[in-house]
Amino acid sequence: MSLTHINKQGNAKMVDVTSKDDTRRIGIAAGSISMAPDTLKQIVDGNIKKGDVFSVAQVAGIMAAKRTYEIIPMCHSLLLTGADIHFECDHKSSTIHITATIKTTGKTGVEMEALTAVSAAALTIYDMCKAIDRNMTIQNIRLIEKSGGKSGHYQRE
C-alpha cells in the first residue's frame, strides 16, 4: 500500500488533486461539551460576562472551517460555499451538542473543515465559560456524514 501523503523521498507532501473532478461535497461533524448545570443555565440565560456564548462560538466555528488549511498541514485551501453551526442544549445531561455542516463544490472533501469547526466552537465555549467552570469536558468529536467525490457517501451508523 502506498501512502498518499508521502513523496518518493519519504517526506510529507500535499496530495495532488489537479486531475480530480469538481463535485458537490458536504461534511457533517458533531461533538459536545458537558458542564455544570449552573454553567449551562448561565449560557442559556445570557449571563456569561464575556458575551453571547452561542454567537461567538458559531462565528469561531465558521472561521475555523474557513482556515482549516492553516492549522492542518496537509489540507488544501478550499472555497467553502456554506458553513452552519448548530447548538442543542441537553439540560438533563448538562451538555451542549454541536453540529457543523460544511459545503463546497471542489476537488476534495470538507470533512476536516467540519471537524475543525466543531472543535473550535467547543473550545470557544470552554474559553468563554472557564472562569466559572474549569471542569467542562469536550468530547466525542466525530464525522457524522460526508458526500461527494470518488469515495462517495459515508454515514456514521
What 41-46 contacts at long range (C-beta under 8 Å, 24+ apart), as own/partner pairs, is 42/129, 42/132, 43/89, 43/96, 43/125, 43/129, 44/89
Long-range Cβ contact pairs of 79-87 (< 8 A, separation 24 or more): 79/104, 79/106, 80/104, 80/110, 80/113, 81/105, 83/113, 83/117, 85/57, 85/58, 85/61, 85/117, 85/118, 85/121, 87/54, 87/57, 87/58, 87/121
Decide if 127 is catalytic. yes
Grid coordinates of 1: 500500500
Q: Quick one: angle between helices 37-44 and 111-129, nearest 10? A: 100
* Residue among 16, 52, 90, 127 flagged as catalytic: 127
Q: Which residues are catalytic?
A: 127
